[in-house]
A and B are shown apart, each in its own frame.
Chain A
């Protein structure tokens, strides 16, 4: 028997995106996480998938608001095919979690009857396949959630012809822990999945969640990654924004194909200014690469190096524009003000204005270095420069 299905994970609905101060932009980014569900539905239909597996972290937290519950159930219901999900570390099935709430049960039953949460470690027959869920009951599970699969008895009575699919959430030994941030299982000792202790031939596909980039672990084990990126890129081998279409058969290697689903552009640029002209070059580069900067871009900009007074003012103006335009500008500006020789002369060598000359000379003398007084002196220089322009 062949099973066709979609493997996805880490939707993290309700993720607050607290770093985005603008409420409208924040809500736009949050909305994208719901909208990608519809795209998944289209993808499922295109590939004649029988069901969708969500490998944990469907919600960003075990205590989401009612409006999100309803919206999410509505989106799930709109998929129109069975959806199986396990609780992950973010939406673990601990006490008081949303899965326990009457409201969720009601909304789920009403809006998403196709949705089924697998909160118990017990085989579930999904028609074309048998699913072995490994749910998390707490944020940090010290025991291996797949441990129950090591016992041969669990396979008693399982149809022999149906592919056997493990649905689990966590990190794999030797992979995942080090690069994780707080969206993933942060600890190296919790939610660890030891796949080596599972019988090699007993299972046909391992649908894993927790790692946000799409990642193949072995011939049968995949992290689908999150369908809509929710953070700035973390490296070349961490490529989020996909869903996997899987064709699984009993005792055969699965056919797995990633499909891009991301809409928002999360970009990351680090730049060091060597001279004042470097600013213009950077601006040009950003405008031309990766579709340029649009209102759907989230940009992490890490600036260093030094700029003169006038260039610094231009940089500030540009930053103001970016902040207004982009969905998010995460700026780390370590650029140091370093007036050019001409600027220095214009400030400190003013025979007609002895007082300004002397003050500027004092400030320039103090402005080099990284300590607080140097920082203040640089700000003062800019203020003086501005005052000179005004008067």
Chain B
């Protein structure tokens, strides 16, 4: 591979100054560039990008032309052809380039001490100086130096593309820097291709063997051989198993042949034992019955003897008991007689007491009735006296009422009214008299007329009513005593009250007030007496008196009748003297009641005594009866016992006979028992309880053994048949062959696999080493990028870039703070992307600059729009480093103050470009 392009000539390249005229918004703009760091500031729309474009066009676009680019640069404001003059250093010389764009555009390139070049000659020389192909135009011109020229808006795009556009030149530079290491030789390539082809022939994409290859066939053959071996082994194993089955069946038949006779003998012995047991069981049944009979006989005799003894004991015990019981019966009879006598006595005493009490009660009742009659008689006398008294007051009332009726009816109210009217008449007259006005004529020239009357000098006159006084013709007075009408009203009032008082007196037929007062006093005395008499009558309840008197008379009559009845009830012998008065009656009654109470107490005591005696008598009677009943019952029992004893004697004979019979029965029972026990023991010795299980067991064993023998015979026959080969196969030989073939196939497969692995290893190593070589190749570029990145992101930052088939790819940023270590360029944030892209461009420019004596301009037009101001501060470190390393850094920005720390030459564009 040849990495040295024919057109590369080492040319130092640096922009010195520029004049832009009639270029879109720029009428005329002059700039002086710093050799290392230039900052061009200006607000938006101030024409920064236009300036960058004008510089680029001057360098790379042919002046003569009518392309879209030519048309676009024409100014709409200023007229005239767009024109750019550029002074730059290249190849240690200073060149003056002047381009006027348009269909008749011109190019002039001049340098000191040489004739200026014009037109195509100038364009060709310029291309040579810039190390670009000559004769590019139009769209192709736009892409020139895109690795150095960061257009506004393209700062974040992946720089691998412009880098790859410079790949050949870059590789050439890198090869020189890396010590002239070739990536690979033609021989290398052929061998690598041969290995790759061998690899691809063997492996599928998935790394599996390709169909039809040796390897694939070996895999198949090995699997088939393994399967055949398994089949052969299975067959042999089956035969071996069958052989073992045969042997086992043979052994079983032998063993069962030994076992079966023994089992048959055992079974026969069991049969014999069974018969023996049956016979013994029959005998045992008979003996058991005989033993039972003997035992019963013995038991009957024993029971009879015991019963007799018992009865005799009972009888003698009972006879002993009966003697004191008979004595006790006599005692009880005596006690009964005594109790009866006592009861009778008590009864009599009680009857006497009862009679006494009755008599005393009659006496008391009589005295009570007599007292009552005396009381009722005095009550009647009282009511008669009271009636008499009332009658006297009644007569007094009648007399007083007659005297009152004779007097005028001057009630106290009426008198008070009369007195008031008299006082009113006196008062009214006094008022009238007090109102009169006196007139006296002391001096008068003319006659004084009072009313119609003439009043002379010194004369007086009392006026009681409204009067006109006239003196001559000039004086006329109206005198109103009492102020107006009062005098007249007072006089009328006086007359009216006088009149009313008189009428009142007249109506009473009186003449004076004193007379009226006299009469009033008399009336009051009479009324007072009348009231006293009335009160007495009320006190005596005069209106009820006749009724009360009648009742008293009747009550007396009833009491007299009662007294008579009680008297009649008294015994003839009893005294019937009546007490003289009530006090005597009460005393007699009280004495009689005391006596009665005492008698009643005595009677109660007698009654209790009688009841007690009666109860004692009854109890004695019951005791006698009870005792007698007990005695009777015991006698009856004794009779029964004696009957039983007689019966037992009749059944078993007398004691002597019975004793002999008992001894005989005992001997018989013992003999029967012994015989029965012997038979039972014989039976137990034969273990009949095991007989059934033994029979089942032996039958089962016989059955099992017989079946097993049959089964073994069957198995033997089956195995024998299976083992009897027809001679078409030799399983042993088959196994040996299959095993050998499987081993061969496995060995072959191992070899083939080893070769496949070897080819894969080779292929892999070729790829890896080729990559490693390429990495070694790109290291100077990566190192430079890393150098710039560390200005931005600190010492942990780095970059990797891969060279593959002549293009650069796989730009990765690594940073200590990235979780995965490295991040592909396209996954970075916008700000970081443009910073990393700038670092790559600077590194690239640095490497390419060695073709230009270490200097190349790098233009950043608003290239850090996404970077925050803090980052822009660290960015300046990177840009400064680029300047220090010989690059000419030209930064255009609308925020020049952000780049104050760059220490660049600052050029500020005016807001509106051009002086126009």
- Assess whether B761 is interfacial by the CB under 8 Å rule: yes
CB distance from A350 to the nearest CB of B (A): 8
- Of residues 113 through 131 on chain B, the ones whose CB sits less than 8 Å from some CB of chain A are none
| B190 and A391 form a contact (CB under 8 A) | yes
Q: How far is the CA of A4 from the CA of B726 in the complex (A)?
A: 38
B730 partner, pick from A64, A353, A356, A391, beta carbons under 8 A? A64
| B757 and A379 form a contact (CB under 8 A) | yes
| A63 and B730 form a contact (CB under 8 A) | yes
Contact with A along B167-194 (1 / 0, CB 8 A): 0000000000000011111011111101
- Assess whether A96 is interfacial by the CB under 8 Å rule: yes
- Assess whether A175 is interfacial by the CB under 8 Å rule: no
Considering the complex, give the chain B residue whose CB is closest to the CB of A366.
B761
Contact with B along A335-377 (1 / 0, CB 8 A): 0000000000000000011111011001100000000000111
Q: How many residues on chain B are close to A (CB under 8 Å)?
A: 55
- Chain B residues contacting A383 (CB-CB under 8 Å) are 195, 198, 755, 758-759, 762
CB distance from B746 to the nearest CB of A (A): 13
Considering the complex, give the chain A residue whose CB is closest to the CB of B722.
A96
A362 partner, pick from B191, B198, B765, beta carbons under 8 A? B765
- Assess whether B647 is interfacial by the CB under 8 Å rule: no
- Assess whether A24 is interfacial by the CB under 8 Å rule: no
On whether A63 and B728 interact (CB within 8 A), knowing A355-B769, A380-B761, the answer reads no
Considering the complex, give the chain B residue whose CB is closest to the CB of A376.
B757
- Chain B residues contacting A97 (CB-CB under 8 Å) are 723
Stretch of B104-112, B455-463, B731-739 contacting A (4+ beta carbons < 8 Å): B731-739
- Assess whether A78 is interfacial by the CB under 8 Å rule: no
Q: How far is the CA of A94 from the CA of B242 in the complex (A)?
A: 12
| B758 and A100 form a contact (CB under 8 A) | no
Q: How far is the CA of A71 from the CA of B24 in the complex (A)?
A: 114
B188 partner, pick from A61, A96, A98, A356, beta carbons under 8 A? A356
User: Which of B183, B739, B766 has the most C-beta atoms of chain A within 10 angstroms of its own C-beta?
Assistant: B766
| B187 and A356 form a contact (CB under 8 A) | yes
- Assess whether A16 is interfacial by the CB under 8 Å rule: yes
| B724 and A100 form a contact (CB under 8 A) | yes
Q: How far is the CA of A138 from the CA of B240 in the complex (A)?
A: 11
CB distance from B194 to the nearest CB of A (A): 5
B725 partner, pick from A18, A101, A358, A387, beta carbons under 8 A? A101
- Assess whether B744 is interfacial by the CB under 8 Å rule: yes
- Chain B residues contacting A14 (CB-CB under 8 Å) are 730, 733
- Of residues 100 through 118 on chain A, the ones whose CB sits less than 8 Å from some CB of chain B are 100-101, 103
A379 partner, pick from B188, B726, B732, B758, beta carbons under 8 A? B758
| B730 and A375 form a contact (CB under 8 A) | no
- Chain A residues contacting B183 (CB-CB under 8 Å) are 354-355
Q: How far is the CA of A138 from the CA of B250 in the complex (A)?
A: 13
- Assess whether B60 is interfacial by the CB under 8 Å rule: no
User: Which of B239, B730, B736 has the most C-beta atoms of chain A within 10 angstroms of its own C-beta?
Assistant: B730
| A380 and B758 form a contact (CB under 8 A) | yes
Contact with B along A11-28 (1 / 0, CB 8 A): 000111011010000000
| B762 and A384 form a contact (CB under 8 A) | yes
| B773 and A387 form a contact (CB under 8 A) | no
On whether A103 and B727 interact (CB within 8 A), knowing A14-B733, A379-B754, A391-B187, the answer reads yes
| B192 and A355 form a contact (CB under 8 A) | yes
- Assess whether B720 is interfacial by the CB under 8 Å rule: yes
| B191 and A387 form a contact (CB under 8 A) | yes
A64 partner, pick from B194, B727, B736, B769, beta carbons under 8 A? B727
- Assess whether B740 is interfacial by the CB under 8 Å rule: yes
| A353 and B737 form a contact (CB under 8 A) | no
- Assess whether B138 is interfacial by the CB under 8 Å rule: no
User: Which of A69, A96, A352 has the most C-beta atoms of chain B within 10 angstroms of its own C-beta?
Assistant: A96
On whether A63 and B773 interact (CB within 8 A), knowing A352-B187, A376-B758, A380-B762, the answer reads no
Q: How far is the CA of A354 from the CA of B184 in the complex (A)?
A: 6
- Assess whether A197 is interfacial by the CB under 8 Å rule: no
SS of B interface (majority): helix
- Of residues 51 through 82 on chain A, the ones whose CB sits less than 8 Å from some CB of chain B are 60-61, 63-66, 68-69
- Chain A residues contacting B773 (CB-CB under 8 Å) are 354-355, 358
Considering the complex, give the chain B residue whose CB is closest to the CB of A107.
B727
Q: How far is the CA of A376 from the CA of B243 in the complex (A)?
A: 47
- Chain B residues contacting A63 (CB-CB under 8 Å) are 239, 725, 729-732
Q: How far is the CA of A382 from the CA of B182 in the complex (A)?
A: 26
| B195 and A354 form a contact (CB under 8 A) | no
- Assess whether B719 is interfacial by the CB under 8 Å rule: yes
- Chain A residues contacting B741 (CB-CB under 8 Å) are 18, 21
- Assess whether B501 is interfacial by the CB under 8 Å rule: no
- Chain A residues contacting B725 (CB-CB under 8 Å) are 63, 96, 98, 101
- Assess whether B770 is interfacial by the CB under 8 Å rule: yes
A355 partner, pick from B184, B247, B731, B738, beta carbons under 8 A? B184
- Chain A residues contacting B243 (CB-CB under 8 Å) are 94-96, 138
Considering the complex, give the chain B residue whose CB is closest to the CB of A94.
B243
On whether A95 and B755 interact (CB within 8 A), knowing A354-B181, A354-B773, the answer reads no
Contact with A along B260-275 (1 / 0, CB 8 A): 0000000000000000
Q: How far is the CA of A380 from the CA of B199 in the complex (A)?
A: 12
| B727 and A65 form a contact (CB under 8 A) | yes
| B720 and A377 form a contact (CB under 8 A) | no
Considering the complex, give the chain B residue whose CB is closest to the CB of A390.
B194
| B185 and A60 form a contact (CB under 8 A) | no
Q: How far is the CA of A19 from the CA of B188 in the complex (A)?
A: 44
- Chain B residues contacting A379 (CB-CB under 8 Å) are 754-755, 757-758
| A377 and B761 form a contact (CB under 8 A) | yes
- Of residues 775 through 804 on chain B, the ones whose CB sits less than 8 Å from some CB of chain A are none
- Assess whether B625 is interfacial by the CB under 8 Å rule: no
Q: How far is the CA of A356 from the CA of B182 in the complex (A)?
A: 12
Q: How far is the CA of A375 from the CA of B758 in the complex (A)?
A: 9
| B740 and A355 form a contact (CB under 8 A) | no
CB distance from B186 to the nearest CB of A (A): 9
Contact with B along A127-150 (1 / 0, CB 8 A): 000000000001000000000000
A354 partner, pick from B182, B190, B754, beta carbons under 8 A? B182
On whether A358 and B769 interact (CB within 8 A), knowing A18-B737, A101-B727, A380-B761, the answer reads yes
On whether A355 and B727 interact (CB within 8 A), knowing A363-B765, A375-B754, A376-B754, the answer reads no
- Assess whether B366 is interfacial by the CB under 8 Å rule: no
| A60 and B733 form a contact (CB under 8 A) | yes
- Chain B residues contacting A354 (CB-CB under 8 Å) are 181-185, 188, 773
- Of residues 1 through 53 on chain A, the ones whose CB sits less than 8 Å from some CB of chain B are 14-16, 18-19, 21
Q: How far is the CA of A61 from the CA of B195 in the complex (A)?
A: 51
| B719 and A95 form a contact (CB under 8 A) | yes
- Chain B residues contacting A358 (CB-CB under 8 Å) are 765, 769, 772-773
A352 partner, pick from B185, B247, B727, B740, beta carbons under 8 A? B185
- Assess whether A236 is interfacial by the CB under 8 Å rule: no
CB distance from A63 to the nearest CB of B (A): 5
- Of residues 455 through 506 on chain B, the ones whose CB sits less than 8 Å from some CB of chain A are none
- Of residues 302 through 346 on chain A, the ones whose CB sits less than 8 Å from some CB of chain B are none
| B191 and A19 form a contact (CB under 8 A) | no
- Chain B residues contacting A21 (CB-CB under 8 Å) are 740-741, 744
A66 partner, pick from B190, B727, B757, beta carbons under 8 A? B727
| A376 and B766 form a contact (CB under 8 A) | no
CB distance from A78 to the nearest CB of B (A): 21
30 A–B pairs (Cβ distance < 8 Å), ordered by A? A18-B736, A18-B739, A21-B744, A60-B733, A61-B731, A61-B733, A63-B732, A64-B733, A65-B728, A94-B246, A95-B247, A95-B723, A96-B243, A96-B719, A138-B243, A353-B187, A355-B185, A358-B773, A362-B769, A363-B762, A375-B754, A376-B754, A380-B757, A383-B198, A383-B755, A384-B191, A387-B195, A387-B198, A390-B194, A391-B194
Top 9 nearest A-B pairs (CB, nearest first) are A96-B723, A18-B740, A66-B727, A379-B758, A380-B758, A355-B188, A16-B733, A18-B736, A61-B732
Q: A96-B719, A96-B725, A355-B773 are in contact. List 18 more A-B contacts (CB 8 A).
A: A16-B733, A18-B741, A60-B733, A63-B725, A65-B729, A95-B243, A95-B723, A96-B720, A96-B722, A98-B725, A138-B243, A355-B191, A355-B766, A359-B762, A359-B769, A376-B758, A387-B195, A388-B191
